[in-house]
């Protein structure tokens, strides 16, 4: 009986001690998820817009204005990317035309990929080079909600931090 009392007493003390201590938490290190969310909120405000229908040519006037204001944001995001993440330059099209190629027409998927690559290359020409920057075309699969799917506003390039593949 005495042994049982001692074991219960030690167990109660150990339990109380374990409940009374708190694990050490580093306050100065933010989780990658919250950093990525903040970066994506910044990037969502700076799309490259103004592409002509079925064109992947970066509009010169709009690009110069965009690059002055937004390129530093892109560079800052790239410089602070958490391990295992990349900046994806994403090309979009409006909903007109087929997604895939039809005859001699390239289709929305190819056009959007060409747009993303054009902006990716233009950023590189501005000195923003990093192996943590990639590009992808999504055709008309990610339309802006509340905007006519055929509207020119849908023809754009956006930026997003995504897990590295």
Per-residue pLDDT of the chain (165 residues; tens, 9 = 90+): 565 444 544 554 555 445 554 444 333 344 567 889 999 998 999 999 989 999 999 888 788 888 888 889 999 999 999 999 999 999 999 999 999 999 888 999 999 999 999 999 999 988 999 999 999 999 999 999 999 999 999 999 999 999 998
Quick one: 34-163 is in which CATH superfamily?
OmpA-like domain (3.30.1330.60)
What local confidence, expressed as pLDDT, does residue 21 receive? 45
Q: For residue 70, which of 111, 128, 113, 117 has the smallest C-alpha distance?
A: 128
What local confidence, expressed as pLDDT, does residue 63 receive? 83
Q: For residue 158, which of 65, 72, 36, 40 has the smallest C-alpha distance?
A: 40
Distances (CA, A) of 154 to 72, 77, 132: 24, 24, 26
Predicted TM-score (pTM) of this structure:
0.77
What local confidence, expressed as pLDDT, does residue 145 receive? 96
From CA 63, how far away is CA 158, in angstroms rounded? Answer: 13
DSSP per residue, 24-87: ---TT---HHHHHHHHHHHHHT--EE-PPTT--PPPHHHHHHHHHHHHHHHHHHHHTPPTTEEE
What local confidence, expressed as pLDDT, does residue 41 receive? 92
Q: What are phi and psi of 30, to 5 degrees?
A: -85, 145
From CA 73, how far away is CA 45, in angstroms rounded? Answer: 10
What local confidence, expressed as pLDDT, does residue 34 receive? 83
């Amino acid at each position: 009986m005495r042994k049982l009392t001692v074991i219960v007493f030690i167990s109660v003390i150990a339990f109380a001690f374990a409940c009374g201590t708190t694990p050490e938490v580093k306050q100065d290190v933010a989780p990658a998820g919250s950093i990525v969310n903040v970066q994506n909120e910044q990037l969502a405000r700076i799309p490259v817009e103004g592409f002509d229908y079925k064109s992947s040519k970066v509009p010169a006037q709009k690009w110069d204005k965009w690059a002055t204001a937004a390129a530093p944001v892109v560079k800052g995001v790239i410089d602070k990317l958490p391990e295992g993440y990349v900046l994806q330059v994403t090309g979009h099209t409006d909903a007109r035309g087929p997604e895939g190629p039809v005859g001699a027409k390239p289709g929305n998927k190819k056009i959007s990929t060409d747009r993303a690559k054009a902006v990716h290359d233009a950023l590189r020409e501005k000195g923003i080079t990093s192996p943590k920057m990639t590009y992808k075309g999504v055709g008309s699969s990610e339309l802006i909600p509340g905007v006519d799917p055929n509207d020119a506003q849908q023809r754009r390039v956006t930026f997003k931090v995504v897990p590295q593949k």
